[in-house]
Amino acid sequence: MNPSSDYMLGLLNKVWSSLMDEELRSHIPAEDMFDNHTFRTAGVTILGPEQYAVFIDCSEQLVVRIAASMFDTSIDGLSNEEIVDALGEFVNMVAGEIEGTLIGNFQIGIPVVSKSRKHKLNIPSSHILMDCWAIDDSAPIRALFLLTEAR
């Protein structure tokens, strides 16, 4: 399986548009992107005949918009716990869309969410199957789908 970044963008937009009532656009990030944005990352495994992982690397600006939409509140009224919960749920929703395309019996794990950071995400020892950068109002988001272990 080697779907394109356009396919991944479609899966990402399926989840995004259900929450935000708009779509993300494909985006190639600038070199100085990590100087201009703070990011949080959420990751979750998909376990079955093969082991996969899904990561959402999202600018803080978009993370708070996702959380405000999920909790039906203003951005100013959000707690850090709600922001973390929302990004964890968002990566679960994207993983669910991907899992639905896989053949075999798979189970989605428990998401892990990082603290804010201003550096690039590096993931060793994996094979990237899909990698998609998107943007909404100049705030970037990245979705990665990895094969972490073939059985």
Asked if the structure places residue 104 within a domain, the reply is: yes
Which residues sit opposite 146 in a β-bridge?
53, 128
* Model confidence pLDDT, tens digit, residues 75-117: 998 999 999 999 999 999 999 999 998 989 999 999 999 877 6
Asked if the structure places residue 30 within a domain, the reply is: no
Contact partners, residue 118, CB within 8 Å, separation at least 6: 34, 35, 37, 38, 39
pTM: 0.86
Asked if the structure places residue 114 within a domain, the reply is: yes
Do the Cβ atoms of 50 and 129 come closer than 8 Å?
A: no
Per the structure, how many domains does the chain have?
1
* CATH classification of the domain holding 136: 3.40.1550.10
Domain coverage including residue 45 = 5-25+35-150
